[in-house]
Amino acid sequence: MTEGITSVAGIEIPSTDPIFLGAVGVHVLLGLACTVAGAIAMLSQKRPGRHPRYGTIYFWCLAGVFLTSSSLAAVRWAEDYHLFILGALAFAAARLGRRARRKRWRYWVRLHIAGMGASYVLLLIAFYVDNGKQLPIWKDLPHFTYWLVPAAIGVPLIIRALLWHSLVNRPRVP
pLDDT of 48-78, one tens digit each? 999 999 999 999 999 999 999 999 999 999 9
Please check the confidence at residue 129 and state whether its pLDDT lies above 70.
yes
Q: Distance between CA 147 and CA 38 in Å, rounded?
A: 20
The pLDDT of 2-9, averaged and rounded, is 77
Q: Distance between CA 92 and CA 111 in Å, rounded?
A: 12
Residue 11's DSSP bridge partners are: 8
Domain boundaries, given as residue ranges, for the chain:
6-169
Q: How confident is the model at residue 164 (pLDDT cuts 50, 70, 90)?
A: confident
Residue 6's DSSP bridge partners are: 13
Q: Distance between CA 72 and CA 20 in Å, rounded?
A: 7
74: region left, alpha or beta (phi > 0 left; psi from -120 to 50 alpha): alpha
Helices (H), 15-143: 18-43, 50-75, 77-103, 108-131
Q: What are phi and psi of 108, to 5 degrees?
A: -60, -35
Largest distance between two CA atoms of the chain: 59
Q: What is the pLDDT of residue 138?
A: 93
